[in-house]
Amino acid sequence: MKARAKANIFLKLIGRDKRSYHLIKSRFILLDEPYDELILQDEKFKEGFELISDFECENNIIKKAYDLLCNQGYENELKEFFKNKSLKLVKNIPVCAGLGGGSSDAACFLMMMNEELNLRISKEKLVQLSMKLGSDIAFFLSGFKSANVGGCGEMIQEFEDEIPKLEWNFPQIACQTSAVYQKFDESVFDFKQNEKNAKLFEKLKTTQLLEYENLQLNDLFTSCVALYPKMQKFLEANFFLSGSGSSVFKVCK
């Protein structure tokens, strides 16, 4: 099963919730490439749930999704299923790149298990459960190709969009999301103005949005460059930033 990446066409920070988490308004689009692959296979090296991959990550979000389903009452079904099977992860989406790779993997796993084990969990329930794992997962569960996303990522409204062909650059720079958000908090910003701009952006198609300047669309670009100076050249070359970076894009000429 393919776990596709996403891009943020715009990303505006408009406040914080009671937990002090940042509230956003953003346009998410689903990309055809790059994508990770989750493959069920009979190859088995150890007992229990086994994730096989060249990608090494402590506390992998797929394992967290597995544990979440177990805690929701599906432990027996999962243990029986993975008694003779393993899960292979082919990692193609760059990490720490603003493309939602981990979130997409988790969403893909939840949908795969729901289907394979016939758990009959509704999409609405899966979205609710996914918020325990990460904010972007809900978008990948929605199945939408383009959506306006709000709150902490759980508010998703499908958008009838026009998406141009995009030119991508994936710098070998691991942008840490929490650090970029923290740097933003240290800067001068206006949540009310950000929300006003976001309300306008939500009405525009992606082709129209990408006529704006890059700094107008993503509130985190300046903070990203401040933390990772090598990103400056992409800012100056009129690339747009996805998420907190480091992936950047522009419209193909």
CA distances from 235 to 71, 167, 224, 228, 238 (A): 44, 15, 10, 12, 5
Peptide bond connecting 171 to the previous residue in cis, omega within 30 degrees of 0: no
Beta strands in the chain (DSSP E): 2-16, 22-41, 51-52, 86-90, 146-151, 155-158, 166-169, 240-241, 248-251
Q: Which residue in 156, 192, 169, 232 sits closest to 13, CA to CA?
A: 192
Residues marked as catalytic: 6, 136
Strands 146-151 and 22-41, by their bridges, are antiparallel
